[in-house]
Structure 1
């Protein structure tokens, strides 16, 4: 880990993000899509994911100001269709 970074577990994999990173920034980087302040894709498409931090679901509207702490576990759950 370098200065100015923290360690988190993202979908079961240890990763490093910048100190002060928000959940929105981290999720956008993880899913490789730009997200607006409300957590919606700027491309107008559907997102289809839910996110939990340490087992607690974080509402999409709170992603922009949810600053990640060192050692948290972030799980991204993708909605799928089928039966």
Structure 2
């Protein structure tokens, strides 16, 4: 399946958002996710199914000031 991840087309085997994050190397990192412009809380990632052509945004918190 092909998704757009942070603006780039990516081919993944994942079927859920949690699987996609693992496949992309995010694992247990603290991040925020949006699927097709809708925020997905961390507790819902395992049950959030992906479809070919979905748009995924991944945002990691920044430190500093």
Query: Does TM, scored on the shorter chain, surpass 0.5?
Result: yes
CA deviation after TM superposition for structure 1 residue 32, in Å: 4.7
Match of 2:46 in 1: 64
What is the CA–CA distance in structure 2 between the aligned matches of 1:13 and 1:77, rounded to whole Å? 14
Query: TM-score, length-normalised on structure 1?
Result: 0.69
**Greater RCO (Cα-Cα under 8 Å, separation 6 or more):** 2
What is the CA–CA distance in structure 1 between the aligned matches of 2:45 and 2:38, rounded to whole Å? 13
Runs of 4+ in 1 over 3 A off after TM superposition: none
Query: TM-score, length-normalised on structure 2?
Result: 0.86
Unaligned runs of 5+ in 1: 1-5, 34-40, 42-46
Aligned length: 65
Unaligned runs of 5+ in 2: none
What is the CA–CA distance in structure 1 between the aligned matches of 2:59 and 2:2, rounded to whole Å? 20
**CA RMSD of superposed structures (Å):** 1.5
